[in-house]
Amino acid sequence: MASSVKVIALTQLNRGQGVSTAAFFLGKSLTDQRAPVLLTDLIRNNTTLHRLKDSFGMRGMVLWTPRANQARNFGQMVASARIEVEGRATCILLDVDHTFLERQQLERSRVDVDYLLIFSGPTEQDERNVDYYAQKFETLIQRRRIGIVFSKVDPADRNILPQQTRTLNLPAIGALPADYFLAGVNDFGYSDGRLSALYQTEIMTMARSLIQLVPIPRRS
């Protein structure tokens, strides 16, 4: 019997696209919409998630950092995590390096996730880079299980961004504002424990889209 727990991997092709911050607040938004989350740190030296945890708390969400030997066997790790959280969480978010994910794909033919979100800058070259990377995940492309999130977007440009990439037609799931539009103008997008309204709105929209697309079960 297939697990009802959905696994979403979040990655970026270049550092600084805000994936860890987005993963944390996406997890919180999903839990607010009755989809409890296991947030998984596959970066391992990731201080962002732990600092956000200390600042904002983890109600409805658990942060897990797998041991190195667990992470190496990616497929088994994901399968075990699905079984372990069944009945307690409905979604597993993976904050993962793109080279690690690609290596798993090439070595084992497929990556066992339900959806892959690739964070990218908003330029045409960024889009081409995303399409080139996504081609390696043929099974996910065939199932239409890859989306793009534009990051560091000027709000004035939000409405002129493409709805999908030009080559593979990967759907745009969201567009996060540039760092200087986040409250506090820092790495985490908050000041005194508050997010900017713009960031909150975009994250909430992403969460709602994923609930429908994946789809992610919600508790009654």
- 3-state class (DSSP) for residue 3: coil
Task: Encode pLDDT of 85-138 as tens digits.
Answer: 999 999 999 999 999 999 998 887 688 899 999 999 999 999 999 999 999 999
> What are the domain boundaries of the chain?
6-213
Task: Encode pLDDT of 54-75 as tens digits.
Answer: 888 899 899 999 998 888 889 9
What pLDDT is recorded for position 194?
Answer: 58
Q: CATH: 3.90.600.10, 1.10.10.10, 3.40.50.1100, 3.40.50.300. Which one for 6-213?
A: 3.40.50.300
**Half-sphere exposure in the Cβ direction for 107 (13 Å, CA):** 10
Which residue bears the tokens 């081409």?
128
What pLDDT is recorded for position 184?
Answer: 38
Give the strand pairing for 194-195 and 190-191: antiparallel
Task: Encode pLDDT of 138-184 as tens digits.
Answer: 999 999 999 999 998 988 899 999 999 999 999 999 999 876 555 33
11 pLDDT exceeds 50?
yes
**Looking at the whole model, is its pTM more than 0.85?**
yes
Q: Which of 105, 119, 102, 103 is nearest to 12 (CA)?
A: 119
